[in-house]
Structure 1
């Protein structure tokens, strides 16, 4: 693993706060990657948001409502790869408080944040880029990344002291939610009511807190480049005051409209592999704006890093993904090469 960044790291928040009226060339995306306002939410032939699932309906005494909800989740996983989850059981107060402490962190003096500066060896800490290609086009965002599971690699001394207690409580709550979702997904796929990654004792989990500073030329750059997430499930706590997440749907970009106190759930590459392509990890990106900073928290629920991930076949289907890879190797490839759409998960398929 590369232990140092190829160039001096520039903090995007510092660029934004400096009052520049044009962005450095290193953040200007190629024309084909710039946001072109391809927003299908204004198209009357398309839905105006990703599906919304009420998790409380799964615990209703009404068996028909429970069955309908399971079907809605299955449809969202097969045709969207994204949905918003309401009545999910995580405390709204906890969600608000964890947002607050991270906003406070990003508004600390730069020298205080630099004490947590990360490296490409683990990505843990305060960062501003992904990939180690020299001269790469960068995203307009800063972040803080931390490991939560397995416990053997968790190091809370690397977390900002003001955040530690709340972050641990928040991660535990979201981890429980992910366990519930994996059981639902497994049942809908016709698997036993077990975690499709082998059980709750072997999963990995991490948290990435994203800050997207206001940008003087938002039409030239992106907060995060198009990609699908590498792991199993991503639980996103968005900034419901300002939209930024876009999901690729029918070869166009849908801007997601966050619902207050909802999570945005998206399926990631390893779940697509495990389901043999029945569930989809979907390409998404983040746009920025010239008026407001935006903060989001992405909780990643992943397979254990050292086991080969392969399709769990049902009904004697042929495996579509027949180049198994450990999650550690898969994630390392992305950390070294950056984000490139869905090219990585497609590489696990043999030519037909």
Structure 2
């Protein structure tokens, strides 16, 4: 039988066709028959959860009783011990108190507030020349849209010749008169702040100089400034706008290092006090000046006095509401707290050892001289 050549055997070609695709189930049901558990899991896992900010990021609002009303004229009386104790306790606990009967004419305050409305009537095109920046810590706060302008506006005023020249260029008719009223008002405000700061210095119990180098650095070339704020709508009715305003304010809270902040906010429906630990609010008294503690006084007191940020809230829809916040930072805040810090100063063991060694050497030298001569 003849052998068959391998080349003569016909070869079966390979089949490269891919298998048919699996049937695709419609909707979100599983391909497994009657697998309700898997289907329910997939439906829930594909949903985007609702994100809620925790209280630690944006704490809830807490209403408290009004801080004590401090009669400024009573601070110089012989029975001022109770008044001083109220100031210290209020600054230590919530970082804020109310000051009444402070001696500043109401006409001066009202005229300054009325004149401040003219600042915000300057057109956005002209404001661009006097916009606040790191190199220029005064002027209009930068805004990013028409909605932000309608919600609130802010202007930073200070006794600066450059600011005077720039503002007179865009508001020539009214700025000079407004600036003169503000200078007079600031002088009276600084007298109040100096008196309160002296009381807090005398009653500073927990003493620590930690953070003084930072305070000195922040305070360098500082001049007292006033933040002039205008609210243009019912902010209480719009919680989202309030939250945005609060977050922006907390971010900007460190722009101006200060010891005390004195708030003029006549007609405010509420006053909010923000700190790292929480957010409290109360209804301020009519014609009262609200005083809050700054970062400098917290540093020089070793944390006894709490740094907070104050913000008046208005519940008016028909008219614009103007408020002022005067930031006070005296050049002598660190040295003024220093004497109290040195009262309890002790001598270390190494210093005592050196003194004892020197006295011993002096004694032996005197004995030697006495025996020699």
TM-based fold match above 0.5: yes
Task: Write the distance in 2 (CA, Å) between the matches of 1:235 and 1:302.
Answer: 11
The yes-or-no answer on 1:214 pairing with 2:233 is yes
The yes-or-no answer on 1:246 pairing with 2:285 is no
Matched with 1:166 is: 181
**1:12-91 mapped onto 2 (5 Å cutoff):** 31=53, 38-41=60-63, 47-60=64-77, 63-64=78-79, 66-91=80-105
Task: Write the distance in 1 (CA, Å) between the matches of 2:54 and 2:152.
Answer: 20
After superposition, the C-alpha distances for 1:12-70 in whole angstroms (9 at most, x for unaligned) are xxxxxxxxxxxxxxxxxx8558x9994433xxxxx42122211111123xx23x11111
The yes-or-no answer on 1:147 pairing with 2:147 is no
Is the CA contact 1:270–1:309 (under 8 Å) kept in the aligned structure 2? no
Query: What's the offset of the Cα at 1:106?
Result: 1.7
Q: Structure 1 residues 116, 177: CA separation in 2 closer, same or farther (over 3 Å shift)? A: same
Matched with 2:113 is: 99
Query: What's the offset of the Cα at 1:124?
Result: 1.0
Is the CA contact 1:141–1:224 (under 8 Å) kept in the aligned structure 2? no
Task: Write the distance in 1 (CA, Å) between the matches of 2:196 and 2:162.
Answer: 23
Q: Structure 1 residues 203, 75: CA separation in 2 closer, same or farther (over 3 Å shift)? A: farther
Query: What's the offset of the Cα at 1:156?
Result: 2.8
Q: Structure 1 residues 242, 123: CA separation in 2 closer, same or farther (over 3 Å shift)? A: same
Is the CA contact 1:232–1:302 (under 8 Å) kept in the aligned structure 2? yes
After superposition, the C-alpha distances for 1:79-118 in whole angstroms (9 at most, x for unaligned) are 1210110011222111111100002322344445455333
Query: What's the offset of the Cα at 1:176?
Result: 1.7
Matched with 1:176 is: 191
Task: Write the distance in 1 (CA, Å) between the matches of 2:276 and 2:298.
Answer: 18
Residue 72 of structure 1 aligns to a residue in which SS?
A: helix
Task: Write the distance in 1 (CA, Å) between the matches of 2:299 and 2:286.
Answer: 32
Is the CA contact 1:95–1:170 (under 8 Å) kept in the aligned structure 2? yes
Task: Write the distance in 1 (CA, Å) between the matches of 2:201 and 2:314.
Answer: 36
Q: Structure 1 residues 174, 283: CA separation in 2 closer, same or farther (over 3 Å shift)? A: closer
Residue 86 of structure 2 aligns to a residue in which SS?
A: helix
The yes-or-no answer on 1:260 pairing with 2:286 is yes
Q: Structure 1 residues 284, 182: CA separation in 2 closer, same or farther (over 3 Å shift)? A: closer
**1:191-230 mapped onto 2 (5 Å cutoff):** 204-214=223-233, 218-222=238-242, 223-225=245-247, 227=250, 230=257
Q: 2:326 aligns with which of 299, 318, 328?
A: 299
Is the CA contact 2:267–2:314 (under 8 Å) kept in the aligned structure 1? no
Number of equivalent positions: 264
Residue 48 of structure 1 aligns to a residue in which SS?
A: coil
Across the aligned residues of Structure 1 and Structure 2, the Cα RMSD in angstroms comes to 4.3
Give the unaligned 5+ runs of structure 2. Answer: 1-51, 168-174, 207-211, 346-373
Task: Write the distance in 1 (CA, Å) between the matches of 2:121 and 2:311.
Answer: 24
Residue 204 of structure 1 aligns to a residue in which SS?
A: coil
TM-score w.r.t. the length of structure 1 is 0.62
Residue 103 of structure 2 aligns to a residue in which SS?
A: coil
Q: Structure 1 residues 120, 315: CA separation in 2 closer, same or farther (over 3 Å shift)? A: same
Task: Write the distance in 2 (CA, Å) between the matches of 1:309 and 1:168.
Answer: 26
RCO (CA 8 Å, sep 6+): is it higher in 1 or 2? Answer: 1
Looking at CA atoms only, which structure, 1 or 2, has the larger radius of gyration? 2
Q: Structure 1 residues 103, 244: CA separation in 2 closer, same or farther (over 3 Å shift)? A: farther
Give the unaligned 5+ runs of structure 1. Answer: 1-29, 42-46, 131-136, 318-352
